[in-house]
Chains A and B, each alone.
Chain A
């Protein structure tokens, strides 16, 4: 009787907590160049080896190797390095600014810059991006002035959101970057709808969306996958597996016994697992999936294996739930450093040029900040008109909102 099998409840545990030695032995890695690059019209089921393996291009000697090498021109690689570095410097500066109490909240993407920058660079400007809140690299690639982003962070008189959104929840219609919700994963099935509309209209634009591995547990993920598969929508469905959702490690989203990309073939959707810190690999996989979508091959689920080097947000303290030195022991390295070393190995970059670029971008960020604060900060300077609160609830303001606006005016007079 004692040996009779019993039901059991498994509670996932991360391999290391504060004080433990960082342990990434759970990560299934493959050497650069190990994955073959199939034709874009390959069946979804046949992608299972890519979905459980790992597409990498940059090897340990900083060379681009294997079939997935996108063979990008040095100028493109230098552009990618610039965008990633700008993203990082912008993030650092805004983080500091929050600590000084000049903005209320911030979210960095430290360590994940390649996911957004390489992804956006591999797509066309008319392709629609449905971001999560850690994709600020899109704005660098598509060229939104930093002042505009900063004014949003400041909720000042030039705030694109007119004071209605938390910092970081940007949008850009002209740049084809969708509004960030703040609720998790809602953009995932919305991107599928956008892609369906593109196909209905007979256009060859594709949609792409990004969620974290944590929020892939939401029902929105499932709905998005089902609709994407049923209509073979031209959409790129990205899961950024940065190992941590606040304090919740990826095992709590279902990452213990399967890769996230492997869910793709289960739905009949192509799946690819890619080294998210490898600019070349992310670029190549995105281009592959976009070409597949544009040629009528349907959706691709892409898992980016990366690491959230920063806290979840300025309100989070990761030292309370994970080892302090995890990022130093992260086996896939740093995306900026890896692309930099690759360019140096190609003879297309140098430490001097890197230092000069860093200085130039720091100055750009600093000048932009000085410009942005002219339009007001949280505590000082000009403020948005509170009347704006009542606009854009509907296209035209209904009577009850006009009355409430007048009531607020009376309150404030």
Chain B
């Protein structure tokens, strides 16, 4: 086992797959010679050459479209969109093409493309470097959506995504790249080396897509979160001394409804936490599903915490971010309601 931060774990996943499968290619803006603006592809072009790790023009549309064409011709592209906020020029190619190719051609053509993209805030990125767009991909039929919360899962899920024959949007919470983050920006940064999920095997392994993980077992309340908010939720629950069951969703689509419902039926209370804007956020889908399937076991209305329904503001980043206080207040509401 090695100690890796999330960037190193993702780099290792691509390294492993470039080594194992000659069809795997990595492409994106700044990913080649420079190794990526977050260093995620550092050293890969040197190791595998310019035909396997390609710097691409600044065109998300072109990156997604050429990835589709490459995949149809037998390659397995891993495309990087530099920030999730930049993905929209490629959105039509994702929604109308990548997601539907298998369906519209009745399985004759398909495109196993993985689109990696850093998401989320907490890095002073303002409204164009902080978005969490998982819900707008979750609403599209035919595409899987994955979001890890730690280095071990990041590597295992990325390898699973690359090996998957369906297209995957792979969201990387960039605030977690260098260490777990509990939502308190005033505290000194914690490195992944001190965290158990910072232990990452060097070689090939997978974490299954479509499986949520109970990161902390508990009986008072179920907190459902993903990405950065898994860590914020853990800290918020601990601050209240609650015996909370905390579930890391890990895969948005296809959603592991079974694990979520099983937990909520046991605890009878549930809070859903995500960083994305709340209105029509993915929490709404989870909440509706739980209400349909666990209504008679619920002891309180399901709570939802998210970012405010505004763009992500530069100067008010920590007032916008759903930190421990907002989560704790929502938890108290869920615990006291009856």
Residues of A within 8 A of B (CB): 128, 130, 160-162, 164-165, 169, 171-173, 178-179, 181, 183, 186, 188-198, 200-201, 207, 219-220, 222-224, 226-227, 230-231, 391-395, 398-400
Contact = CB atoms under 8 A, between A and B. Distances in A.
Interface string B40-78: 000000000001101011010110011111111111000
A226 B93 contact: no
Given A193-B67, A196-B69, A219 B96 contact: no
B101 A194 contact: no
B257 A400 contact: yes
B102 interface: yes
A161 B254 CA distance: 24
A161 B66 contact: no
Given A128-B73, A193-B69, A400-B254, A183 B108 contact: no
A97 B180 CA distance: 64
A331 B75 CA distance: 45
B295 to A, nearest CB: 17
Contacts of B56: 227
A304 B222 CA distance: 63
A393 B61 contact: no
B144 A193 contact: no
B75 A197 contact: yes
Nearest to B112: A395
B311 interface: no
Contacts of B68: 190, 193
Interface of B: 25, 51-52, 54, 56-57, 59, 61-62, 65-75, 89, 92-93, 96-97, 101-110, 141-142, 144, 164-166, 210, 254-255, 257-258
A178 B106 contact: no
Nearest to A209: B69
A108 to B, nearest CB: 22
A392 B106 contact: yes
Contacts of A201: 73-75
Given A165-B104, A193-B67, A394 B142 contact: yes
A385 B59 CA distance: 41
29 contacts: A160-B108, A161-B105, A171-B104, A171-B108, A181-B97, A189-B62, A189-B65, A190-B69, A192-B66, A193-B67, A194-B72, A195-B69, A197-B69, A197-B75, A200-B70, A201-B73, A224-B62, A226-B57, A226-B62, A227-B57, A391-B107, A392-B106, A392-B107, A394-B144, A394-B166, A395-B110, A395-B166, A399-B254, A400-B257
Contact of B66 (A171, A227, A392): A227
Contacts of B51: 200
B105 A190 contact: no
Contact of B102 (A160, A165, A395): A395
Nearest to B64: A189
Given A179-B108, A400-B255, A197 B65 contact: no
A393 B144 CA distance: 11
B254 A398 contact: yes
5 pairs of A and B residues whose beta carbons are closest in the complex: A193-B69, A193-B66, A189-B65, A223-B62, A398-B254
Contacts of A171: 104-105, 108-109
Given A164-B106, A181-B96, A395 B61 contact: no
A114 to B, nearest CB: 26
A16 B101 CA distance: 40
A169 B71 CA distance: 20
A270 B205 CA distance: 47
B65 A230 contact: no
Nearest to A194: B69
A231 B54 CA distance: 10
B73 A230 contact: no
Given A164-B106, A193-B65, 4 more contacts: A189-B66, A200-B25, A200-B52, A394-B102
B294 to A, nearest CB: 16
A400 B144 CA distance: 13
A179 B110 CA distance: 10
Q: Which of A173, A179, A192 has the most CB of B within 10 A?
A: A179
B254 A189 contact: no
Contacts of A398: 210, 254
